[in-house]
Amino acid sequence: MRIEKTVFISYRRTNASWALNVYRDLASHGYEVFVDFAGIASGDFERMIVENIRARAHFVLLLTPSALDGCNRPEDWLRREIETALEARRNIVPLMFDGFDFNGPNIAKKLTGKLSTLQRYNALEIPVRYFDEAMGRLRKWLNVPLEAVLHPVSSKVQHATQLQQQAASMASWVQSSELTAQEHREQTFMVANQLAHAPLFSAEEETMLKSLPPEQQAMMRLQAKRQREQMVAAIITKLMEMRQRL
């Protein structure tokens, strides 16, 4: 699979200085980078932005605590750039500046609609004092073929999958309602154990995952493990609630 060194930098105008620094670093290392410093006339925005995002393998998004302000509006330019990258399935790498945190109290409410998927991508913190070192890590994250990028499952698909799994577990539980208390406890343990030891990724996903840099592999595995732990906890809670009704 071919590795492309083409990048689109997405940023809020107030963060132009950071965008310039990232641009200079990537360009000096042989990347073909598109960054809109001059601005695009409103009539040309849709065509220019869509074409340039789709023409590049990597989508680097600069995030500061105020960067997502305004993204609640469908016509917001930064929002439209992110949505285009998500739809085009680019290699999206959020860069976190000035203490930006996806877990911040005011961030989640700004990630509405399609943007809710953004927080499930691996993000890279950029400390001011270690900018060069962080850029070195960024280049490693960009050194992957586009076909090998693992995209988070959309919230709708993920929720539907969880509901199906819960429904199957619930049906099995109800059918076993004549079991003794001890047998119910054993049933609960069995369901939890099966879910906890299920593979994190499919065989195809594992193959693609192994082509990524080690630190990115570790992040993806940690993220998937946390999501599964949350799902197991939710299912066990439901099972215990039903057990109490029997």
Total domain count for the chain? 2
Cα dist from 2 to 88, 140, 141, 176, 182, whole Å? 18, 15, 15, 53, 56
In a domain, 1, yes or no: no
Q: Determine the average pLDDT of the residues in 73-86.
A: 91
Question: Around Cβ 60, how many Cβ atoms within 10 Å?
Answer: 28
Do 132 and 29 lie in one domain? The reply is: yes
Q: Determine the average pLDDT of the residues in 20-42.
A: 83
**Per-residue confidence at 231, pLDDT binned at 50, 70, 90?**
low
173 contact partners, CB below 8 Å, separation of at least 6: 187, 191, 239, 242, 243
In a domain, 190, yes or no: yes
- Opening angle at CA 241, ends 170 and 186, nearest 5: 65
Q: How does DSSP classify residue 153? A: P
pTM (2 d.p.):
0.64
Helix (H) or strand (E) holding 18: helix 16-28
% of the chain with per-residue pLDDT over 70? 64
| Chain segment 136-195, per-residue pLDDT in tens | 999 999 988 887 676 765 444 444 444 445 545 544 544 555 556 666 666 666 666 666
**Predicted pLDDT at 160:** 45
Q: Are 174 and 242 in contact (CB under 8 A)?
A: yes
Q: Which of 78, 113, 148 corresponds to the end of one domain? A: 148
Q: By residue range, what is the domain housing residue 218?
A: 155-245
**Predicted pLDDT at 187:** 63
Q: Which of 148, 163, 180 corresponds to the end of one domain? A: 148
Phi-psi region of 174 (alpha: psi -120 to 50; beta: other; left: phi over 0): alpha
Which of the pair, 156 or 109, is modelled with greater confidence?
109
Do 92 and 167 lie in one domain? The reply is: no
Q: Can you tell me whether residue 229 is helix, strand or coil?
A: helix
- Distance between CA 78 and CA 66 in Å, rounded? 12
- Distance between CA 114 and CA 92 in Å, rounded? 14
**Predicted pLDDT at 155:** 46
